[in-house]
Amino acid sequence: MPTVVYQLPDGSASSVDVPAGQTVMDGSVRNNLPGIVAECGGSCSCATCHVYVEDDAAEAFGEPSMEEQDLLEYLEGARPCSRLACQLVLNATIETVTVTVAQSNGV
């Protein structure tokens, strides 16, 4: 089962096992972690699950869709490594992935 390490806005980190087929957002919401609001419930329409995915972790996920890119384009605090956690589906080949939860998620 993949492990997601969430670097949280308060500087702490939390590791969560998230079943393959679920998203990085699911793991955060189901474990009541702070920072990922997920107002739209994962339908890629609110950007309140903004995370930064860098280096090797980015390779674990496909390229962002046009819909995701459109949301990220106007998001405060967006960086080239910005992604929406609701669009990051974990698969069985992922052992551990680290994401940094953006402070701009409405928290």
Q: Which of 33, 26, 16, 20 is nearest to 85 (CA)?
A: 26
Task: For 23-35, write each residue's pLDDT tens digit.
Answer: 999 999 999 998 9
Whether 107 is in a domain gets the answer: no
CATH number at residue 49: 3.10.20.30
| Domain extent for 18 | 3-101
pLDDT above 70 for 107: no
Residue 33 covered by a domain? yes
The verdict on residue 29 lying in a domain is yes
What is the pTM assigned to this prediction? 0.93
Asked if residue 62 belongs to a domain, the reply is yes
Report the first-to-last Cα separation within the chain, whole angstroms: 29
> pLDDT digits over 50-69, tens only?
999 988 888 889 899 999 99
Q: Does residue 106 sit within a domain?
A: no
Q: Tell me, yes or no, whether 54 lies in a domain.
A: yes
Domain count, the chain: 1
